[in-house]
Structure formats: C-alpha cells, structure tokens
C-alpha cells in the first residue's frame, strides 16, 4: 500500500529511523523550504524535532491521569489516549497502511476522531482532513487528489446513514477500502496490543510532511495543503503561548475539529500539547454547547461568526452557568463589529478574533488589547518571523491604513500546495510569498483588518463555497442550460449563496425547491446547496464573453477607494 514515502535513510535518533537529509519533506509534490531559510528557522528555534504525536505523548508522561478528551459520558485520560493511539496505529498497520500512505479522515467531533488522527500519525501515515459534512462528491475528489489508501469514517456522523454511505462509496470508489474509526481500538483493545505489534511512535522525522489539510480560502475545488510536523508544531505551540493556555484550560470547539482553526489555533493540538482538556461537541447548538460549558467548566471556546451569533441570540443562555468561560475565539470569516460588541456584555467571555488560513499565517487579537483593536481588527501575526506584505495590484507596498493584497511568508506558512504546480504558480511568488486573496488594512500597531477578497470564493459563515463547484453540479441537471453562483451580504452568515440559473430551451424551467433537493441527492454537501435560486433568461457576460459574477452581485463588496 505504500506510496510516495521517498527514501528513509537508516540514521538513528532515539531508536527511530530518520532521513539523512533534514530538508526533504519526503513526500512527492511537496515544495520544500529553501535550505538557507530552513537553517535560519532551525537556528532561531522556531522549528524543533518533535512530531505531532510526540507533543501529546510528552504531556501524557507528565500528567497521565488528567482528563485529555471528554466525549459525552466518556473521558480519556492522557495515558488512556496514548494507548488508544497505539491501538489505532496497530489496527491500521494490520490493515496494510504503511508510513507515508495517505488516510482520508471523515469524522465528527467524537473521541474516535483522535484515534483516527493520531493513530494514523503514530504510524507515520498522513491524515487527509475531510470534514464530516462532505459527501461522495468531495470524497471522490479528495481520494483522487491525495492518492489515499483508506477512508476512515464513523457511525456517529449526525444525519448520515453510515451503511448506505459506505455502500455508495464502495460503488463509486471501488479501489478505496473503508473502515470505521469506532472499530480501530475495538480491534486492538488496550490490553491486547502486544509490544511486538505496537509500532514505534511516528517513524517519520519532524521535517517530514505530517498531514494534508484542505484549502478554504481560494477558488476552485479544495487544494491539498501539506504541513510538516515541525512547522505545525511551531504554529500549535506558539498559538498556545499567545492564547495563554495552561493545564487548567478546558477547550470546546463548536466547529469541526478537522478544520485548521479548531486543530491548531490553538485548537485541540494546542490544548493536548499544554495539558488541558478538550471537550468534544457533536454540533454547535446553543443548548448542547451551554450544557457542556456548565458541566465541564469550559474556559475557552472557538466559533465562526454565525455560530457566535446563534449563541448570542439564544434564550437558552440564561438557563446555564457560564461563569467558567473566559475567552470566546471567533474566526474563519469576518465578524461584524456589531456582533463583536455584544459578546462580552451579553455572553460573558472576552472576545479574541482569529484570522488564519490553512496555508499558514494566523493572527490573534490580544486578551489585553484595547477595545478598538479587539472589536475592529482581526489581530496581529502571531510570530515575529511572519513576513507580511500589503501590496497594491502592481506589487507596490501600500501605506498603513490603506487596503491592499495580503502576501505572507514565514516558518509555518507553506511554500506550495501538494502536487499542484498550476495552483502554486497562481498563489506563490518565486521567493516564497503566499498570496491569500484577502484584502487587508494594516494598522500602525501591526494589527490587520480584513476588508474583502480578491478571489471569488464565497465565505458562507466560515464554510467556504466554491462557485465553480456548485455551478458544475447545477450544470449536470437536465433542465439547466447555464448557471452562476455569487455571494450576497447576509446578516447571519456574512454571505449567503445565490444561484442564477438559465433554463434549457424547451425544458420545463426548474423550480428552486426541486433544484435544491436535486443538488442534495447528487452528493453535494448541504452548505454548498444555494440559499437562493433565481431563474433568469440569460447571464451577463464580460467583453470576452465570460460570465460576469461581478455584475450579478447586488452591491459593491469593497470599501471606497478600491477597484
Ligand atoms: C481559516 O482557514 P481557511 O483556510 O478555511 O480559510 C482562510 C480564509 C482567509 O484567507 C480569509 O479569507 C478567511 O478565510 N478568514 C477570515 C478570518 N479568518 C479567516 N476573514 C475575515 N476575518 C477572519 N477572522 O478560516 C482559519 C484558519 C486558522 C484559524 C482561523 C481561521
């Protein structure tokens, strides 16, 4: 089953095989950091030698009996969690997964998510982070793009008939075996993992690629983002420091743990590296979240803006004791100032804005920043090694206070997507700066405000929707001649999706409700089904005949002074 592992030399470090060359990320298609830059990051201590499972194993050695993960009525202490990783790794190995293989992870926020992720990592294989709301259309793309050898899914995905989903995938992806993460530890219950079959913790060195994340901030289908152990470990540990985590932190994510925000900013990885407790919430509904905050004395929670708004507007909050809750992090999409202003007075916790991207850069507002900074900016880059440029369309720096395109380079920002030279040519400069497509204003104190996006992706409450993908799905409907999807301002979501559909001549014009139902059954994730559908006679075009999404959009999307 092994693919793309590169060559593992036999030099030995603490009994483990490591690559002789500490620069090669050991995965085809990964763009490495230039050697002189890597030397600088190593010498300055940004990069260390711990793998991501090692961060948790070290905590387990320090406080084995502390609760690490709580999922409903199940609590795993650190010692138990690490045993589960080893059992899961042994089960995966028994299924033929080898170091360097890719494993598609499709799990909600449950204890088994940790088995799947860290079991895969402990084996030296690479998780590919699908989101549990993805369905077969996304799975096919991700399986193909990553070359995954196994899909790990769950019987606990809300609203999904797991057996029917498995049967459908087996028919569409006959070459991709599927396993339930719930079976991994059952196949190798704690005591049954014999020393001989327990793989050594992660046989890959810290400079190797650790996993593939999905891009959220660009156009088209999600691209695969390779992160190395050492760059991600730095991002996680620096985040934990900036956010003031300690071993009394109790963290709850209202969003999927598979997303970069909930994973590393500081996310479950930051908490598990520091010695706190992660409370797994199956969804972000106010009653569930408030109940967990009260019961487990949650101190830190992470949400996207629409979720934060739903918590704010829920009458349920007065019924719960939320007094332990110190900080609410909001990120993933622009938080309206009016919402930001209500958080501390109405909900209790202090607000921390988080502006990040799976490609790397993460910015935080500080817990002691003044009100204008916390309410009106998305924070400052977390590392003094982040090189942030704000440039006009001709690549010239714009002064502080003026909007410009964001470009970034640094010790935890990737140098290229996985196996995707065209995307790299479009999004990276030759000297390694990543262009996020965000239009930002830098303030004199170094904080950034996000004011728009140059690219077309629609940010529907933190869920990124690609017009190309939805239009492609619409075009497969027999009654549709052409279609265009645009984002429109929406109070709750930030942006909602609006599909303009041209009916096929001679066919019965599709009805909005039926079309939306059809998209769902065609395998598109729920959040990608358009919020509004309007049937039109024709779509506006540019001078060269391309469909003009700009003309369809109801209002100018950028502040004055920009074009
Ligand atoms: C996070 O990561 P992605 O990869 O899903 O999306 C990145 C894009 C950014 O380029 C930006 O367009 C948008 O999402 N975004 C924000 C934002 N945070 C992200 N736009 C405005 N305000 C914010 N606070 O979304 C992500 C990764 C790590 C931490 C937090 C979010």
- Residues 484-511: pLDDT tens digits? 899 999 999 999 999 999 898 888 888 9
Domain edge (last residue) among 162, 189, 204: 204
pLDDT bracket for residue 191 (50, 70, 90)? low
CA of 39 to the centre of ligand 1 (A): 29
Tokens of 344: 């501390």
CA angle 295/82/129 to nearest 5° reads: 80
Instruction: List, as one string, the DSSP characters of 238-289.
Output: HHHHHTT--TT-EEEESS-TTSHHHHHSSHHHHHHHHT-EEEE-SS--HHHH
Domain edge (last residue) among 181, 204, 227: 204
Contact 335, 343 (CB under 8 A): no
CA of 520 to the centre of ligand 1 (A): 26
217 has a pLDDT exceeding 50? no
Structural domain contains residue 114 = yes
Q: State pLDDT tens for residues 245-266.
A: 999 999 999 999 999 999 999 9
Structural domain contains residue 422 = no
Average pLDDT of span 133-159: 94
Q: What is the pLDDT of residue 338?
A: 76
470 vs 271, residue with greater confidence: 271
Q: Which of 355, 374, 390 to mutate to test the pocket of ligand 1 (most atoms within 8 A of CB)?
A: 355
19 has a pLDDT exceeding 50? no
Structural domain contains residue 438 = no
Structural domain contains residue 95 = yes
Structural domain contains residue 471 = yes
CA of 454 to the centre of ligand 1 (A): 14
Share of the chain above pLDDT 90, in %: 70
pLDDT bracket for residue 339 (50, 70, 90)? confident
Residue ranges making up the domain that contains 511: 458-552
Contact 333, 461 (CB under 8 A): yes
Average pLDDT of span 81-104: 95
Instruction: List, as one string, the DSSP characters of 283-300.
Output: S--HHHHHHHHHHHT--E
Share of the chain above pLDDT 70, in %: 91
Cβ(353) – ligand 1 distance below 6 Å: yes
Structural domain contains residue 533 = yes
Average pLDDT of span 119-136: 94
Q: What is the pLDDT of residue 25?
A: 83
Cβ(216) – ligand 1 distance below 6 Å: yes
555 has a pLDDT exceeding 80? no
CA of 99 to the centre of ligand 1 (A): 31
The protein residue with its alpha carbon nearest to ligand 1, atom 10, reads: 217
CATH of the domain at 164: 3.40.50.980
CA of 334 to the centre of ligand 1 (A): 8
Cβ(262) – ligand 1 distance below 6 Å: no
| Residues 6 or more apart in contact with residue 262 via CB below 8 angstroms | 253, 255, 256, 268, 302
Q: What is the pTM of this model?
A: 0.84
Task: For residue 450, give the ligand 1 atom closest to its CA.
Answer: 21
Q: What is the pLDDT of residue 505?
A: 81
How many CA atoms lie within 13 Å of 505's alpha carbon, on the beta-carbon side? Answer: 1
Structural domain contains residue 373 = no
The protein residue with its alpha carbon nearest to ligand 1, atom 8, reads: 217
Domain edge (last residue) among 204, 235, 264: 204
Average pLDDT, the chain: 89
44-48, 396-400, 467-471: which has the minimum mean pLDDT?
467-471
Task: Please tell me the total count of domains within the chain.
Answer: 2
CA of 504 to the centre of ligand 1 (A): 37
Cβ(260) – ligand 1 distance below 6 Å: yes
304-313, 346-355, 435-444: which has the minimum mean pLDDT?
304-313
Q: What is the pLDDT of residue 193?
A: 67
555 vs 378, residue with greater confidence: 378
Cβ(357) – ligand 1 distance below 6 Å: yes
Q: What is the pLDDT of residue 547?
A: 66
Structural domain contains residue 266 = no
Q: State pLDDT tens for residues 521-538.
A: 988 899 999 999 999 988
Q: What is the pLDDT of residue 562?
A: 31
Q: Which of 356, 362, 363 to mutate to test the pocket of ligand 1 (most atoms within 8 A of CB)?
A: 356
Q: What is the pLDDT of residue 552?
A: 83
Cβ(450) – ligand 1 distance below 6 Å: yes
Q: What is the pLDDT of residue 194?
A: 67
Cβ(405) – ligand 1 distance below 6 Å: no
Q: What is the pLDDT of residue 559?
A: 40
Q: What is the pLDDT of residue 12?
A: 34
User: From the CB of residue 270, how many other CB atoms can be counted at a distance below 10 Å?
Assistant: 27
CA of 216 to the centre of ligand 1 (A): 8
pLDDT bracket for residue 334 (50, 70, 90)? confident
CA of 503 to the centre of ligand 1 (A): 35
Query: What's the CA gap between 349 and 36, in Å, rounded?
Result: 43
Cβ(355) – ligand 1 distance below 6 Å: yes
17 has a pLDDT exceeding 80? no
| Cis peptide preceding 541, ω within 30 of 0 | no
Query: What's the CA gap between 234 and 447, in Å, rounded?
Result: 21
CA of 86 to the centre of ligand 1 (A): 33
CATH of the domain at 497: 3.30.300.30
Cβ(329) – ligand 1 distance below 6 Å: no
Q: What is the pLDDT of residue 152?
A: 98
**What's the start-to-end Cα distance of the chain, in Å?**
51
């Amino acid at each position: 089953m092994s693919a793309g592992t590169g060559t593992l030399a036999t030099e030995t470090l603490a009994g483990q095989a490591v690559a002789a060359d500490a620069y090669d990320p050991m995965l085809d298609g990964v763009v490495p950091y230039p050697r002189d830059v890597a030397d600088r990051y190593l010498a300055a201590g940004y990069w260390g030698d711990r793998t991501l499972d090692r961060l948790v194993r070290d905590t387990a050695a320090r406080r084995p009996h502390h609760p690490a993960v709580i999922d409903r009525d199940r609590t795993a202490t650190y010692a138990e969690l690490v045993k589960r990783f080893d059992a899961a790794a042994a089960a995966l190995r028994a299924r033929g997964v080898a170091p360097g293989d890719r494993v598609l992870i499709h799990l909600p926020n449950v204890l088994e998510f940790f088995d799947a992720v860290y079991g895969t990592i402990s084996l030296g294989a690479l998780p590919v982070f699908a989101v549990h709301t993805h369905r077969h259309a996304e799975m096919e793309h991700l399986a193909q793009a990553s070359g995954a050898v196994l899909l790990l899914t769950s019987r606990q995905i809300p609203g999904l008939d797991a057996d029917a989903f498995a049967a459908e995938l087996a028919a569409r992806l006959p070459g991709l075996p599927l396993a339930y993460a719930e079976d991994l530890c059952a196949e190798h219950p704690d005591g049954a993992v014999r020393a001989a079959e327990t793989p050594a913790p992660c046989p890959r060195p810290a400079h190797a690629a650790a996993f593939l994340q999905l891009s959220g901030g660009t156009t088209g289908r999600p691209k695969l983002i390779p992160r190395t152990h050492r760059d991600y470990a730095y991002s996680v540990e620096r985040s934990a420091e900036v956010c003031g985590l300690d071993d009394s932190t109790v963290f709850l994510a209202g969003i999927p743990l598979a997303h970069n925000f909930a994973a590393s900013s500081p996310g479950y990885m930051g908490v598990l590296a520091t010695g706190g407790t992660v409370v797994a919430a199956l969804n972000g509904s106010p009653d569930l979240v408030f109940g967990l905050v009260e019961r487990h004395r949650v101190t830190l929670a992470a949400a996207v803006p629409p979720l934060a708004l739903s918590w704010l507007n829920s009458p349920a909050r007065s019924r719960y004791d939320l007094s332990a809750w110190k900080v609410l992090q909001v990120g993933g999409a622009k938080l309206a100032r009016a919402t930001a202003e209500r958080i501390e007075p109405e909900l209790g916790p202090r607000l921390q804005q988080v502006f990040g991207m799976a490609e790397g850069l993460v910015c935080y507002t500080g817990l002691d920043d003044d009100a204008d900074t916390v309410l009106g900016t998305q924070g400052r880059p977390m590392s003094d090694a982040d090189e942030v440029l704000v440039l006009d369309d001709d690549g010239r720096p714009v002064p502080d206070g003026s909007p410009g395109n964001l470009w970034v380079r640094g010790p935890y920002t990737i140098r290229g997507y996985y196996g995707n030279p065209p995307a790299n040519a479009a999004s990276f400069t030759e000297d390694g700066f990543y262009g996020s497509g965000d239009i930002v204003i830098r303030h004199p104190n170094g904080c950034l405000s996000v004011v728009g996006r140059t690219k077309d992706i629609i940010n529907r409450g933190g869920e990124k929707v690609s017009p190309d993908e939805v239009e492609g799905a619409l075009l497969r409907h027999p009654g549709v001649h052409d279609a265009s999807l645009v984002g429109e301002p929406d109070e709750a979501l930030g942006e909602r999706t609006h599909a303009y559909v041209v009916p096929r001549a001679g066919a019965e014009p599709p009805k909005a409700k039926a079309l939306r139902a059809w998209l769902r059954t065609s395998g598109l994730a729920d959040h990608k089904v358009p919020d509004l559908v309007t049937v039109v006679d024709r779509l506006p075009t540019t001078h060269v005949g391309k469909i003009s999404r700009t003309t369809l959009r109801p209002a100018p999307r950028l502040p004055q002074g920009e074009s």
